[in-house]
Structure 1
Amino acid sequence: MAGTLALAEPFKVGVCYDLSKAYTFATPQVSQAAMDVAKLINMQGGIGGEPVEVIVRDHGNEPQRGIECYSRLSREGVFVFDTLSTPVSLAILPRAMEDGRILMQSLVGRGDAVDGTVFEWVYPVGPTYWGQMANDIRYIKQLHDDDLSDVKIGYIYFDYPFGQEPIEILKTLSQKEGFELLLYPVPLPGSDQSGAWSKMRRDNPDHVISWMLGGAHVVASKEMQRNRIPMDKYISVNWLNEVDIANIGAEAATGLKRGTNVVGGQDVPLRLEIINKLYDEGEGSGPLVNTQDVYYNTGLAMYSIIFEAARRAADLEGMPITAESYKKGLESLENYDANGLMAPITVTAEDHGGGGKTRIEMWDGETWVPQTDWIAAYGEVVWDVVRESSSKYGE
């Protein structure tokens, strides 16, 4: 029966990731962080007196391989899964819903899956792309004295589900706030952006929001220089890291902004504890250099949430943890920020996203400087779009 499956010991999380194709700019750091968090927990006695384990498998960003990973690990007793891929998450979601297994969906997948009244087993904890986009618009509005009526906002994006996901909320906010929305789709993998930026030079938007990944940011920066578009117009989705800055050039990137739900830098308490207890003792799960990246911090945040929910499930319902008790653990998280690592989240049975807070950071040539507090803007607007979309699930 859904929700009653007991996990075989140790407590396992199925990490079905793309380790070989599209998302290799981030998955090594995130999966390494997942394994490090598990090691640290086990050093501290595990959860409920039992060890924890993350099982990492490659799906190559291919939905069918993701389904195979899900099916195989399900047979081994796993019922908490993470894919870090929108196409794979979309493929697994109906199966997880039917099977009563937990699909974690942080920073990927369906934006409307925050609606826990419909997507009972899906948890996009953290900002969805809809929420992150809404927060970007709120920041831009703040820059224009709360009046966007004469503002042009360009949106450059990969023309596939990841980039297309925020368009609905962008159009809704354009109608609400009166700004002119200009769309600039680019084909994968983002190496050919010349036409989009040439058109942007002619259109001259006041701000450019970018939903691209990895090396595409470097291509964008070169096109901006070629078209004499100032870097401070550029606001990236959260997928922009220290490697991208180095490839753009620290000075050339000055003024560039990104949305984020995790704290950047190397001085966060959990990372320092892991370095001290694992890496300094030769027990790290991968290269030390990977821990110096914001995507590593993203992984620390994601798996702090996953294991904190398991800890609370054990406290609330005892051992062994079941899918149903794990749900209760997740839905007991209130203002949880993993000791300052990320935007605080509060998960409920209705809101599986945790509140959707992000902040805008600007690269000043040497480091990231916050431009806002943690914010969650346009909540009613976002949730109207969420409910309209989620109501169509299963039709």
Structure 2
Amino acid sequence: MRSSLIRAIAAVALVTATATAQAQAADPVRFGLCYDLTKIYVAAVPQVAQAAKDFADLLNLRGGLEGHPIQVTVQDHGNEPQRGIDCYERLKREGVMVFDFFSTPVSRAVLPRIMQDGNILLQPLVGRGDAVDGEVFKNVFVLAPTYWGQAANIVSYFKKQAGGNLNGKKIAFLYLDTPFGREPIPVFEALKRLERFDFQTFPFPVPGNDQSAAFAQIRRYQPDWVVLWSFSPLNPISFREMQRNGIPIERMVTGNWINEVDINNFGAAAAKGLKRSAVVSGGAEHPLVQDILRELYDKGKGNGDRKLVADSYYNTGLAVYSSAFEGVRLAIKTQGWPLTPEKIRQGMYRLKNHDAKGFMAPITVTPQDHGGGGKTRIDMWDGTKWVPQTPWFADYTGLVSTLIKANSADFAKANK
């Protein structure tokens, strides 16, 4: 009896070891992350890369994508377009078909090569806002709300706060004077005509450390709300200027590029009432984050500083790659191996209300919409954490779609 039990246990161990070896021997699914890890976006992008690698490792512990391990290669392009192109060409030769550059100038520079080669470009929260138009940008998957969609949703929130009528209300748009900062302006201008609110822009120059002139003008303007379109290290400067000019921080809504480091650099208690356009849940409470902490970091296997796990930028990376990995998994499941860019493209179209079990706004990718629906929500800092003020929603979608189509049509005409 004892010897039979030993043989049975040995047989089970052999089967398990064989399955593990087979999974490890399977061809990997390669993702190329050419990122700015050293210059302009260093306050946010390393956390996104850390999240992508952590999530890949977690999924690999569970068998990868339909038995194929995920291989994430991260390289630095320093936000320089030519270095991004070089990274693309190098990884393409190594068999990578899915790329992410997390930089607007680099994504724009590589886009023509991606479209010519037929590879897949992930473009979350950077690059061309009109790339959500899947009928023009067939190989580009945004998998997140555009800045245009975020701006529209912020105005929708203001309208609800005003009892459904924005006529005569004043909205100040404070922004870093770069293409990134200027991008939402056409949406605000279009909505200004539709909703009859007063809208004025207040740019501050690069590098963004001196915002005093813009705030002197905002103080004279006396807006009902201030929308801030800036980036991580510059946010606390804006908050201090709000405070110095006697403008209640409760009147400000930021874009998505704000995290807990920014809050703490200003003061967690002083930031109470600040609001943001959220694209992902904050904090470490979600089971996905808890699994990563337990299965990787508690065992010394994490891909970065544990303190950055559950930071807003880290969670953004998890949200993006939960969609990207799931789309590729569905491609393998429904169309088999070996993968091709076309199979991956079709796999992305199987993402239906994907929200990583409540971790992010649900996205549904279609051949027409490569963004997933454009849903965001408004979160408020309560002194210790981000608290949702709205459900996930998308508003003025027809207006945003019209702007997208107009821009993508110009691109298509110029690139016939």
TM-score normalised by length of structure 2: 0.92
**Within 5 A, what are the aligned runs for 1:73-152?**
73-152=91-170
Report which structure shows greater RCO (CA 8 Å, sep ≥6): 1
| Alignment partner of 2:314 out of 296, 302, 307 | 296
List per-residue Cα deviations over 1:265-307 (Å, max 9, x = no partner): 1111111011111111111111101103111111111111111
How far has the Cα of 1:164 moved from its partner? 1.3
Task: State whether residues 282 and 310 of structure 2, in contact with CA within 8 Å, keep that contact through their aligned partners in structure 1.
Answer: no
Task: State whether residues 11 and 50 of structure 1, in contact with CA within 8 Å, keep that contact through their aligned partners in structure 2.
Answer: yes
Secondary structure of the corresponding residue to residue 393 of structure 1: helix
Q: Structure 1 stretches (4+) deviating beyond 6 angstroms?
A: none
2:19 corresponds in structure 1 to none
**Within 5 A, what are the aligned runs for 1:147-186?**
147-186=165-204
The structure that has the greater radius of gyration is: 2
**Hey, what's the Cα distance between the residues in 1 that align with 2:373 and 2:310?**
27
Between the aligned residues of both structures, percent identity stands at 52
Aligned residues: 388
Task: State whether residues 351 and 363 of structure 2, in contact with CA within 8 Å, keep that contact through their aligned partners in structure 1.
Answer: yes
**Hey, what's the Cα distance between the residues in 2 that align with 1:308 and 1:240?**
26
How far has the Cα of 1:46 moved from its partner? 1.5
Q: In the alignment, residue 268 of structure 2 is paired with which amino acid?
A: A
| Unpaired stretches in structure 2, ≥5 consecutive residues | 1-25
Q: In the alignment, residue 204 of structure 2 is paired with which amino acid?
A: V
**Hey, what's the Cα distance between the residues in 1 that align with 2:360 and 2:310?**
16
How far has the Cα of 1:9 moved from its partner? 3.2
1:56 corresponds in structure 2 to 74
Asked whether 1:253 is paired with 2:253, we answer no
How far has the Cα of 1:233 moved from its partner? 1.1
Q: In the alignment, residue 301 of structure 2 is paired with which amino acid?
A: E
How far has the Cα of 1:337 moved from its partner? 0.3
Task: State whether residues 209 and 234 of structure 1, in contact with CA within 8 Å, keep that contact through their aligned partners in structure 2.
Answer: yes
How far has the Cα of 1:364 moved from its partner? 1.4
Secondary structure of the corresponding residue to residue 411 of structure 2: coil
1 or 2, which has the higher helix percentage?
2
| Alignment partner of 2:383 out of 365, 371, 380 | 365
How far has the Cα of 1:351 moved from its partner? 0.4
1:67 corresponds in structure 2 to 85
How far has the Cα of 1:340 moved from its partner? 1.1
List per-residue Cα deviations over 1:100-123 (Å, max 9, x = no partner): 011111111111111101111111
**Hey, what's the Cα distance between the residues in 1 that align with 2:48 and 2:293?**
15
Q: In the alignment, residue 346 of structure 1 is paired with which amino acid?
A: T
1:346 corresponds in structure 2 to 364
How far has the Cα of 1:189 moved from its partner? 2.4
1:4 corresponds in structure 2 to none
Task: State whether residues 289 and 310 of structure 2, in contact with CA within 8 Å, keep that contact through their aligned partners in structure 1.
Answer: no
Q: In the alignment, residue 361 of structure 1 is paired with which amino acid?
A: D
Asked whether 1:25 is paired with 2:43, we answer yes
Q: In the alignment, residue 285 of structure 1 is paired with which amino acid?
A: N
Task: State whether residues 155 and 182 of structure 1, in contact with CA within 8 Å, keep that contact through their aligned partners in structure 2.
Answer: yes
| Alignment partner of 1:316 out of 312, 321, 334 | 334
Task: State whether residues 157 and 212 of structure 1, in contact with CA within 8 Å, keep that contact through their aligned partners in structure 2.
Answer: yes
1:193 corresponds in structure 2 to 211
